[in-house]
A = this chain, B = another copy of it.
Amino acid sequence: MNNSFIDKAVIFCEQNKHRLTLPRLNVLKIIHSSAKPIKAYDILKKLSIIIRNPHPPTAYRAIEFWKRHKFIHRIESLNAYCTCKSDHLHSGGQFLICNDCGTVIESHLCNFPEVFKNAIKKKMFTLSNWNLEINGTCKKCS
């Protein structure tokens, strides 16, 4: 396991005076060490190895914390969570979801494409955040 991601989170908490508590640290480690996006109740199950009989809010609060601070993403169509694979923090994202094996690849683009900018301009809509989920077949499965 590459720990530089966890290190970044540790540093982030130090610098921003957020408490890096046992549930927070372990929830992040669990999500980070999962090959595929992991569901809240599976996080909770894994958490129970470390923390005695944790309840849903324990997992959800930590999830919410890391999501708020952009260390993790929620894959909406899967109700599952994964760590950010981009080299910088951002919200929203683009995810390639393999219909066969369930693998999710994050393909982060910093800029919102022009064609969409035009589309929302037409609707007089002000962008705050965008999330793209692409289904298809991954390299391995095709």
A99 touches B128 (CB 8 A): yes
Contact with B along A112-142 (1 / 0, CB 8 A): 0101100110111111111111111111001
Partner of A77, one of B76, B123, B128: B76
Task: Tell me, yes or no, whether A9 is within 8 Å of chain B by CB.
Answer: no
Chain A contact patch, size range: 20 to 34
Q: Are B134 and A105 in contact (CB under 8 A)?
A: no
Q: How far is it, in angstroms, between the C-alpha of A41 and the C-alpha of B99 when the chains are bound?
A: 27
- Chain B positions within 8 Å of A133 at CB level: 76, 130-132
B-facing residues in A99-119 (Cβ within 8 Å):
99, 105, 107, 109, 113, 115-116, 119
B105 adjacent to A109 (CB under 8 Å): no
At the interface, yes or no: A20 with Cβ under 8 Å from chain B? Answer: no
A94 at the interface (CB under 8 A from B): yes
Closest residue of B by beta carbon distance from A120 = B96
A126-B136, A134-B127 known; A116+B113 contact, CB < 8 A: yes
A residues at B contact (CB < 8 Å): 76-77, 94, 96, 98-99, 105, 107, 109, 113, 115-116, 119-120, 122-139, 142
Interchain Cβ contacts under 8 Å between A and B, 16 examples: A76-B76, A77-B131, A96-B120, A96-B123, A99-B128, A107-B119, A107-B120, A107-B123, A109-B116, A113-B116, A116-B134, A123-B139, A126-B137, A127-B135, A127-B136, A130-B133
